[in-house]
Amino acid sequence: MEEYRGGDELLDGLARDPSRRLVYVAVERPSPPEPGPPVEEVVRSEALREALRRRGIERLYRFQAEAVRLLSSGRSTLIVAGTGAGKTEAFLIPILERALEDPYRPGVRALLVYPTKALARDQLQRVNSLVSSVFGLRALVLDGDTSEREREAIYSMPPQVLVTNPDMLHYGMMRSERFRELVSTAEYVVLDDVHAYGGVLGAHVHYVLRRLRRLLQREPVFAGASATIGNPREFASALFGVDVEVVDAGSGRRGLIYHAMVKPLSRSRLAEVAHLVAECVRRGLKTVAFADSHRAVELIRRACAKLGVEVLVHRAGLLPEERRRVEAALQSGRAMAVAATPTLELGIDIGDLDCVILANVPPSFGRYVQRTGRCGRRGGTAYVLMVLGNDPISQYYEGSPADFFGKGVEPLAIEPRNEEVAKLQLLAAAFDRPLRPGELAPFERGVVERLAAEGLLRLVRSRGYYRPTPQAGRYLRSRPGLRGTGEVVRIYDKAGRLLGFREMPMALRELFPGAVYLHGGATYLSLGLEGSRAVVERLPGDYPFLTSALYYSEPILFESEAEREVWGFRVEYGRLAVREVVYGYVVREAESGATVREALLDRELSHEFATRGLLMRMPPDPSWSMLANAEAFHAIEHAAISAAQMVVGAAPTDLGGISYPSGHIFIYDGYPGGSGCSKLLFHRLEEALRRALRIVSSCTCDDGCPRCIYSPYCGNNNKILSRRRALRVLGALASGERVGPAPAQVAGSPLA
């Protein structure tokens, strides 16, 4: 990127508005992939060469040629290239050549796996534009929406290329012998959008691929494709379970992109996003505004409506048909603006965009690249406008924007040793085919023994394998599948109509009795949460208040698995069990965020879950009272989580924290079983603490504010916090000064 020197009408107009400040503007010039050899030097089949020429492809990019060479030689390969750069052709060419070598061999030759049903069906036309151009070859979709007639035709006459999603693989292998036979002939297994498989979903897919390999007639060649992975070889090898080669093509941008950081001066961040959306739509720019929570995108839509601009919403929790309607409207141009959560980060075809507006700093630079990947693809001028707020991460990058744009793509986390994931997947594997102890790693053998003790698996001693019991099927039906590990709460209106879903423990904080819940552009009041069911009542569309939960978290178990020293104190990583208790809530004005009142619930609501996390044992200051130490370590916990988001690419709700006046600070994965974020943090803690120190040292507030140590996710509404005391402790640790003895036992009440 290079420095912006002015001259763009939109940016110069934004800069003249006294209600905002352009903090930073950079220019990204077009950088298409490096040209490679002519098609005839790479592709052996004349039929396939002719098919490529009919598509206007006379020469491959260099990365495509290298990927074709590696995959054709049987080496599993990850292709890293920008959106629209030609990754699909790179993995399809060797698959089609293999099929053409033996065109009469029956059965599926390749599985193309996309993260979602919508993306798989969206990409089918693109895949078939090449596959079906070669006589006799077909690509078909098989997923949960495939009709019985279409499904029967696939089983009777399998296509050479079967397009599906990991959920279909998971359920199909577990439930259907015909499905297991169908996929058993695959020689290639392709996972597009590999970056989608970080965290819990990645742990599930790791096991799904292992289960698939148990059924295949031969060891497959894996191919992966992604625009952004900071640790491509390590991550893909862990996901696939085999050694992987990496082919990197760069960004592949074709147009001029202006990247700007915008700081609102006289209105809230979401109000600024709405004004930017309105300005872009007025100029005829097709725009997507991204935010990290469903509440934020609903509020953006509400604010845009007040400005006379129609904005559609795309987010998880909406029914699939609603999301497809939004995608189609944006692609066709019937809609000019959409407010979206990360559900639109994946490669769903919504057409090329003129502007992407980011309502906050994305959790990682990789997510930034994903959200902005469709800008500049038409060869013209496009814009990325990132709105900074009064939060610690915004303040950090406002002072050091180069730390964001120059840091590169972060590594992705995957934690296969997630016991909740392993329980579900090992049960599913036993449904696929009897499970033998010799197939299992020591961790997995322990999980299987616990499943047997719970009556979910039965050891057939005469055969030496485990089979599922009838209870196992009921257990699997009660779980959320591959998209999480927590219990799923179904949300109904008073008439009993299903509105959507929310997963524990987040559901506990959003659907307690009296909670204001935003869904699909409407505002609801939660009437109660019982077990896996919540009932809500619709409120007026202009309802002026929002709520946030008051809660506390406490560790009920910690088992250390690794430890090391950081800045002179001990840090441990391991298994953690957490109890969350919601005891009240705060009512705030929707527009200003000002607190109206606090209220207590009639009874506390609690939820326990197992996860993974790290424990920092910082020395308390013996000259301070217990309250003063509590203020210091609670503030350090908040600053460390903010810094961790920047360092490991975690989303705001990916990590939770608990602190004690004794100096014990837990930072843990917010997903049951663990997502891998805290494990990355354990290994990169020094950098996170350096950034935490900078957050508390650079703020000019008296002793704590939203710009440094306040958190919107704090369970006690940001009480018992001291920036100055946090600065004293972190500064002393960074300089090697010891302020007191390291704590041994947890003492005092937890602060979340």
Residue 244 domain flag: yes
Task: Quickly tell me which residue has 């005469």 as its tokens.
Answer: 462
Same domain, 368 and 423: no
CA distances from 29 to 8, 252, 385, 579 (A): 14, 10, 17, 50
Residue 7 domain flag: no
As separate numbers, helices (DSSP H) first and strands (DSSP E) second, the chain gives 24, 29
Backbone angles phi, psi at 376, to 5 degrees: 80, 10
95-110 as b/e: b if 16+ CB within 10 A: bbbbbbeeeeeebbbb
Cα–Cα dist 418/421, whole Å? 5
Residue 620 domain flag: yes
- Beta-strand pair 457-460/545-566: unpaired
Show Cβ contacts of residue 524 under 8 Å, excluding neighbours closer than 6 positions. Answer: 493, 499, 516, 517, 518, 536, 537, 538, 539
The secondary element (H helix, E strand) that includes residue 551 is strand 545-566
Same domain, 98 and 191: yes
Given a cut of 50, the residues of the chain with pLDDT beneath it are none
Q: How many domains does the chain have?
A: 4
Q: What is the CATH number of the domain that holds 657?
A: 3.30.1360
Same domain, 226 and 275: no
Is the preceding peptide bond at 743 cis, omega within 30 degrees of 0?
no
Q: Are 422 and 416 in contact (CB under 8 A)?
A: yes
Residue 240 domain flag: yes
Beta bridge partners of 516: 525
Residue 670 domain flag: yes
Domain boundary, last residue among 405, 427, 462: 405
The share of the chain scoring above pLDDT 70, in percent, equals 95
Most distant CA pair in the chain, distance: 82
Same domain, 110 and 237: yes
pLDDT number for residue 343: 78
- Joined together, the tokens standing for residue 364 give 């990682």
pLDDT number for residue 607: 92
Same domain, 104 and 163: yes
Same domain, 82 and 217: yes
Backbone angles phi, psi at 12, to 5 degrees: -65, -35
Backbone angles phi, psi at 651, to 5 degrees: -75, 165
Q: Is 107 left (phi over 0), alpha (psi -120 to 50) or beta?
A: left
Q: Are 412 and 421 in contact (CB under 8 A)?
A: no
Same domain, 230 and 204: yes
List strand residue ranges (DSSP E) for 620-704, in order: 655-659, 664-669
Same domain, 195 and 276: no
Residue 134 domain flag: yes
Cα–Cα dist 224/240, whole Å? 9
Cα–Cα dist 686/336, whole Å? 44
- Of 106, 138, 101, 388, the closest CA to residue 272 belongs to 388
Determine the distance from the C-alpha atom of residue 102 to the mean position of all C-alpha atoms in its chain, rounded to a whole number.
40
Domain boundary, last residue among 405, 440, 458: 405
Residue 15 domain flag: no
CA distances from 225 to 55, 116, 191 (A): 21, 15, 7
pLDDT number for residue 253: 64
Query: Residue 227 belongs to what domain range?
Result: 63-250
Same domain, 239 and 305: no
- Joined together, the tokens standing for residue 44 give 């052996």
Domain boundary, last residue among 433, 458, 481: 481
Alpha helices (runs of H) in 134-266, residue ranges in sequence order: 148-156, 166-175, 177-183, 199-215, 232-240
Same domain, 217 and 281: no
- Joined together, the tokens standing for residue 178 give 């015909």
Q: What is the CATH number of the domain that holds 315?
A: 3.40.50.300
Q: What is the CATH number of the domain that holds 428?
A: 1.10.10.10
pLDDT number for residue 163: 97
Same domain, 564 and 700: yes
Residue 497 domain flag: no
Same domain, 477 and 333: no
- Beta-strand pair 664-669/655-659: antiparallel
